[in-house]
Amino acid sequence: MRKINTVGVIGAGIMGNGIAQSCAMVGIPVVMLDISEVAVQKGLVKIGNSLDRLIKNNTLTLAQKDAVIALITGTTDINAFKTVDLVIEAATENQALKIKLLKEVDAVIGEEVILASNTSSISITKLAAATKRSDRVIGMHFFNPVPLMDLVELIRGLQTSDATHAKVEAFAKQLNKSPITVRNNPGFVVNRILCPMINEAIFVLAEGLATAEAIDNGMKLGCHHPIGPLALADMIGLDTLLAVMEVLYEGFNDSKYRPAPLLKEMVAAGYLGRKSGRGFFTYS
């Protein structure tokens, strides 16, 4: 397998643009793909805003920002991936969509290129089976906000080769991340623990035991969590949280993973958290 010199990212949303920024910040050129030019430009603006915050905090210079931006190419043309060494899929947490995108990219990229999915819950074994390079498919689950969070979960599907795992593990470390390797299983490790906790906080809210503010303050003050579970749900996106809970519920057939009815209701209403301006809290 050739060295990873250029990366393609599928999706210019919150995770995709964060992954693109993280790659560019260590000097790796990135091609960031999305379905429309509007989405691409929005992602580039988000990256610029993120870099501006680093400048404000005196952790980045204007010249360094310009150098990072110069390494990121936004596009709507999948053929731009023909020259990359690794593709990271960061689309919506929807199995059918991810399989469709991976099949499309699989047909375009070189034989030795690795496909990684940023899925937070979907089976890597199943995603890999949809491609013609199943041994070169791996899960690479980043955490939000990507440029600031150290952890990357590396998920090995049944078909993932040792060489693929070793190469992606080295790449994660090149991004100044701390990777942990986990087996393929619904929710993997972090979300299997984290999402049911958030889901239970939603049950507590729905039952009227306390206000959203009180629940979050209780977990911050009593458990030293840096952010409350309901604010964290808003940051993750309530639609994403619901998708993860549904994967856990279906995968384990265990009632402890049933999504809270209030969570379903809020997603149905379009109250998705920060990205929609309203979730358990309101955002400008």
Which of the residues are catalytic?
A: 120, 141, 153, 191
Report how far apart, in Å, the C-alpha atoms of 132 and of each of 62, 104, 107, 166, 180 are. 43, 11, 8, 20, 26
- CA atoms lying within 13 Å on the CB side of residue 64: 15
- CA atoms lying within 13 Å on the CB side of residue 185: 10
The number of beta carbons lying within 10 Å of the beta carbon of residue 143 is: 20
Q: Cα–Cα distance between 87 and 32 in angstroms, integer?
A: 10
Inter-residue contact 245 to 211 (CB < 8 Å)? no
Residue 282, phi then psi, degrees to nearest 5: -105, 140
Inter-residue contact 128 to 103 (CB < 8 Å)? no
Q: Cα–Cα distance between 17 and 12 in angstroms, integer?
A: 5
> Which stretch of DSSP H or E encloses residue 33?
strand 30-33
The number of beta carbons lying within 10 Å of the beta carbon of residue 173 is: 12
Provide the 3-class DSSP secondary structure of residue 240.
Answer: helix
Mention every residue, 6+ apart, whose C-beta is less than 8 A from residue 55: 61, 62, 65
Peptide bond into 145 cis (omega under 30): yes
Residue type for position 254: D
